[in-house]
Amino acid sequence: MNSLLSRPGAKPLVFLLAMAPVAALVLRAATDSLGANPAEALTRGTGDWTLRMLCLTLAITPLRQATGWHALARMRRMLGLFTFFYGVLHFLCYAWLDMGLDLADIVQDIPGRPFVLVGTTALLLMLPLAATSTNRAIRRLGARRWQLLHSAVYAVALLGVLHFFWMRAGKNDFAEVAVYALVVGVLLGWRLWRRVGFRPSSA
C-alpha cells in the first residue's frame, strides 16, 4: 500500500476523487435535478462534504499509525485544504442562496442564529490553517508553533458537529448527527488516549 500511495499518480487521483462531489452538485444543478428545493440541496450537500472531508483528514494519522501506511501523510494536507474548500462553498451557498448576498443581513443573521454562528466560527478557524498549509509557512512559524496553530482543527471538528446538531434540531432528526458525532468522538478520543492515557510498557 505504501508503494501505491507513493506513486506520482496517487495524489492527482485523490484530488479528482475529492473534486467529484462538487462536480456532481454542479452537474445536478445544470440539469435541474436537485429536487424540489435546489438551494437547500446545494447548501446541505456542501455542508455534508465539509464534515466528511474533515473526518477523512482527521483519520489520516490514526490510520497511518495503525496500518503502517506512512505514505498516507502525503494526502493529509490536500484533504485539509479540501475541507476548507467545501466549507467556503457551504458558506457561499448560505450567503447567496439564503441571504441573497446582502452583507448587512448576513452580519445581522450570523449572531442571531446559533447554528450559523457556530458554523461561521468553524470556518474562520479554518482560515489560518489553510493559509499556513505550505512548507514555507511551516519553516517561518517553526514546527512547534505550526503544530500548536493546527491543533485548532480539533475545535473545528467539535464546532462542525455542533453546527450540524443545531441545524437538525429544528427537524428533530439526529440520526446523521449521531454518526458524525461518533466518528469525530472516536478520532479525537484516540488522540487523547495516545497523548495522556497511553503509556508504553518499559519492560
The per-residue pLDDT for range 48-84, each reduced to its tens digit, is 999 999 999 999 999 998 888 888 998 999 999 999 9
What pTM was estimated for this model as a whole? 0.92
CB-side neighbour CA atoms (13 Å) of 81: 12
What contacts 25, CB < 8 A, 6 or more positions away?
34, 41, 42, 45, 46
Q: Which of 57, 90, 106 is nearest to 164 (CA)?
A: 90
Domain boundaries, the chain: 2-195
What's the gap between Cα 127 and its chain centre?
12
- Residue 198 has what pLDDT? 56
Exposed/middle/buried for 151, CB within 10 Å: 0-12, 13-18, 19+? exposed
- Checking if the pLDDT of 201 tops 50, the result is no
Strand, helix or coil for residue 198: coil
CA distance 72 to 44: 29
